[in-house]
Amino acid sequence: MPARAFLPQEVIAAKRDGDILSATQIASAVQGICDGSWSDCQLGAFAMASWLSGLNRQECVHLTNAMAASGTMLDWSGMALPGPVVDKHSTGGVGDLVSLVLAPMLAACGAVVPMITGRRLGHTGGTLDKLEAIPGYCITPDIQKLQQVIRQCGLAIVGQTETLAPADRRLYAVRDVTATIDSISLITASILSKKKAAGIDYLVMDIKLGNGAVSPDLTRATQLGCWIREVAAGMNMTCSALLTDMNQPLSSAAGNALELVQAMHYLRQDQCPPRLHQVVLALGAELLQISGLADDPAQAGQMLQDVLQSGRAAEKFGQMCAALGGPSDFISHFQNYLPAADCVRPVYAAIPPGELRYVEQIDTRALGWTVVRLGGGRAQPDAVPDLRVGLSHLAELTQPVTSETPLAIVHARDEGAYQRAAIAVREAFQLADVQPFAPQQILACLQAGHPHESKTWQPHI
């Protein structure tokens, strides 16, 4: 006998009044999202009722499972893949190019990585936008092509297709305009429904906190990490969460092609920025351990170092790039393929000649919005980002600067855009006479299997 279909107003009223919704009520709501029988105003009311009354963890599990099942569910079990199916997800930051380098490193370590990623959201960067800078790279392959690339390369970094968790796509769009985007339970369901639909068994979350993060508060970031981990467990997905600092850009570049350049330098080991490397190793080592590919932190860290230094991680990225339509020699000749801005000029600190200052504070969110205003993001939903523009050679916290030290190099369309960005960059950096202490990059690890415990992270290498 089919399950009862509840009227929208029945479900909305129940949640408004603080009732715990049953799996059937939630399934009815998700069905209404998909078939259009729930209007946008009813969906907005449901989101607001959920925001005000809250969803408990079991309700969140029901909602996540229902949204995952609203479209195509990828199943890798019959493909005789060589390793566990894993993924990493970040809550978003500035200069955060971890996905571009960690996915091929994990694949080179023996994991299988079907990474469904997204576009820029607000001031934070999007991995999908960065990949669009590669000529010919197909960011939305059909399911058959995705499976082929996974079999061939062990990884694919692509975007959400129309058939993957479509209920989440519509609910997210309504949340975006109804002041319900910051509900922890709805954030959790949105993230995990896509991971469940992608067939992920093991997940590591990078929960950013700081002035450049969506969650600037440690308490809220910890709560989000615990929710995601516990709801994942309720869906038979093993998940750990790391809390990482976003009080400064994670890498020295912010902008689509510019971050891709830095990712290629990292994979080729031309450059190895310490803070970026620390986060990559921490996330990767945690995922290798929970998926059973490594026994302990030391072994996991050494595996990641080995695939970097041997060039196997770079080879994996190159294989994926070619398989998805990009240049076959991208790794070795990426400079020939990536677009460059017309106006590239440094921004210097306003310091008297001969004097020394130190970077004391960075308004990371402001730098992210500077990239958007340069054209690197979407001021309007239908805008096409300029993949060339952004900021590079960004100064770091505690760094000594003089009148001849660039705070950043601006990559702009023209002189006017450069001048406006230069003002914003200078305003984003606060300088001091005394060198401050360096901030801690990895703040905590909320480990899988311990839903109410966390530990201070220790280096794996």
Residue by residue, DSSP assigns 226-294 as HHHHHHHHHTT-EEEEEEEE-SS-SSS-BSHHHHHHHHHHHHHTS---HHHHHHHHHHHHHHHHHTTS-
Distances (CA, A) of 423 to 93, 347, 370, 400: 22, 9, 10, 20
Beta bridge partners of 159: 117
Task: Answer for the pair 327, 385: CB distance below 8 angstroms, yes or no.
Answer: no
pLDDT of residue 311: 97
Q: Please give the CATH topology (third level) of the domain spanning 8-68.
A: 1.20.970
Q: Cβ–Cβ contacts within 10 Å for residue 418, how many?
A: 21
Q: What are phi and psi of 316, to 5 degrees?
A: -60, -45
90 is catalytic: yes
Mean pLDDT over 404-424 rounds to 97
- CA–CA separation, 440 and 275 (whole Å): 9
pLDDT of residue 169: 85
- CA–CA separation, 181 and 177 (whole Å): 8
- CA–CA separation, 372 and 366 (whole Å): 10
Residue of 127, 180, 251, 252 marked active site: 127
Q: What is the DSSP letter of 399?
A: -
Q: What are phi and psi of 195, to 5 degrees?
A: -65, -40
- In this prediction, what percent of the chain has a pLDDT beyond 90? 78
Q: Residue 126 pLDDT more than 90?
A: no
- CA–CA separation, 85 and 291 (whole Å): 8
Residue of 124, 190, 240, 392 marked active site: 190
332 is catalytic: no
pLDDT of residue 162: 81
Distances (CA, A) of 191 to 11, 117, 184, 256, 443: 23, 10, 11, 23, 22
pLDDT of residue 449: 57
pLDDT of residue 374: 95
Confidence of residue 447 (pLDDT cuts 50, 70, 90): confident
Q: Residue 337 CA to chain centroid, in angstroms?
A: 24
Mean pLDDT over 422-430 rounds to 97
Residues 6+ apart with CB under 8 A from 14: 21, 25
196 is catalytic: no
195 is catalytic: yes
Residues 6+ apart with CB under 8 A from 384: none
Residue of 15, 50, 62, 88 marked active site: 88
* Secondary structure element (H or E) that encloses residue 407, with its range: strand 406-412
Q: Residue 281 pLDDT more than 60?
A: yes
pLDDT of residue 453: 40
87 is catalytic: yes
Minimal CA–CA distance to 321: which of 87, 131, 129?
Answer: 131
Q: What is the pLDDT of residues 321-354, one digit of tens each?
A: 999 999 999 999 999 999 999 999 999 999 999 9
Residue of 175, 275, 357, 388 marked active site: 175
Q: Residue 116 pLDDT more than 50?
A: yes
Q: Tell me what the pLDDT averaged over the chain comes to.
A: 91
pLDDT of residue 380: 62
Confidence of residue 3 (pLDDT cuts 50, 70, 90): low
Residue of 15, 50, 64, 87 marked active site: 87
Mean pLDDT over 172-182 rounds to 82
Q: Where are the domains of the chain?
A: 8-68, 77-166+175-335, 343-432
- CA–CA separation, 457 and 31 (whole Å): 42
299 against 174, higher pLDDT = 299
Name residue 12's amino acid: I
Q: Residue 382 pLDDT more than 70?
A: no
Q: What is the pLDDT of residues 20-46, one digit of tens each?
A: 999 999 999 999 999 999 999 999 999
* Secondary structure element (H or E) that encloses residue 90, with its range: strand 86-90
- CA–CA separation, 157 and 126 (whole Å): 12
pLDDT of residue 282: 97
- CA–CA separation, 156 and 431 (whole Å): 42
- In this prediction, what percent of the chain has a pLDDT beyond 70? 94
- CA–CA separation, 72 and 60 (whole Å): 20
Q: Residue 458 pLDDT more than 50?
A: no
CATH of domain 343-432: 3.90.1170.30
Minimal CA–CA distance to 55: which of 66, 63, 43?
Answer: 63
Mean pLDDT over 197-216 rounds to 91
- CA–CA separation, 239 and 234 (whole Å): 11
Cα torsion 293, 154, 84, 235 to 10°: value is 140
Mean pLDDT over 136-149 rounds to 93
Question: What pTM was estimated for this model as a whole?
Answer: 0.90
CA angle 393, 344, 376 (to 5 degrees): 80
Residue of 50, 70, 90, 252 marked active site: 90
CB neighbour burial string for 62-97, b if at least 16 within 10 angstroms, e if fewer: bbbbbbbbbbbebebeeeeeebbbbbbbbbbbbbbb
- CA–CA separation, 238 and 203 (whole Å): 6
CATH of domain 77-166+175-335: 3.40.1030.10
pLDDT of residue 461: 29
Name residue 146's amino acid: L
Cα torsion 379, 381, 386, 387 to 10°: value is 120
397 against 381, higher pLDDT = 397
Confidence of residue 450 (pLDDT cuts 50, 70, 90): very low
165 against 330, higher pLDDT = 330
Q: Which of 2-11, 151-160, 314-323, 431-440 comes out lowest in average pLDDT?
A: 2-11
> Three-state SS for 359?
strand
Residue of 15, 50, 70, 89 marked active site: 89
- CA–CA separation, 33 and 31 (whole Å): 5
pLDDT of residue 121: 65
